Structure 1
Amino acid sequence: MDLQNTQVIAAPRSEVWAAINDPDVLKRCIPGCEEIERVSDTELDAKITLKIGPVKASFKGKVTYEDVREPESLTLAGEGSGGVAGSAKGSADVTLKEVPEGTELSYEVRVNISGKIAQLGSRLINSTAKKLTGQFFERLEAEFAQAE
């Protein structure tokens, strides 16, 4: 599954960069995120519970920051296991660009899913992924609205 989009966030690039590197902000913004902990400068451990169609699963996994070019871009690579529900492995290339309205955040996500969840069909998985991505950006924007 591949997803890509661009979102403008009404905040300076340095603040958006700090937010996407802050485990507390990520925990509040990632749908279903129950725990997230920084293990090192480049690695996070996370626990996320999601419902995709009839399947509800808790995933435990790692996220690694790669190809970091502060404050312009980074790649988030991750993998997680949801037990019998399946597993997911993927990466997201994230780019931040200054624009008059604030910061343009572009992303390109590639994910491979296996197990029960993969059997649900690509249409359901893609629509759920788009919904979850939309929720993430709504919450991220709300983080900056609260700061004003």
Structure 2
Amino acid sequence: MRHHLILRVVTKLLIGSIMIFALYVQFHGDYSPGGGFQAGVIMAVGFIIYGVVFSLEDVQRVFPPWLVHKLAALGVLLYAGTGIVSLFLGYSYLDYTALSPHHPVHGQHYGIILVELGVGITVTGVMVTIYYAFTSRTPIMDDEAW
């Protein structure tokens, strides 16, 4: 794969745009269509494209498997933790009013951002974990058999 210079250069140019677009979708999901799930998939696609064009070893140096697993768990904890905070403050689970009782609209906004951020982090971690699991399998056929 060393000889695909144009593919490598174009990929390096696209990865930054993909990541920035994922962040845009993540943080504007409550204002427009999109949100955590879509942003998580877009972010994971950036890492997956990098791994397909370069190699599994290269993408795992950039985004190590231990970090991927920790982020997937962190996202779930962020989502669940937002609900638990509202329970401890005397509100229903995931009642965002608890985050700003004097300004319920602000509480709704904070809650949506936190929950969507948790979803985005989890989806990125899970999608990259699935990619790592499939690509690290030992191939049944060698390349010459194709």
Structure 2 length normalisation: TM-score? 0.31
Higher helix share: 2
Higher strand share: 1
Structure 1 length normalisation: TM-score? 0.30
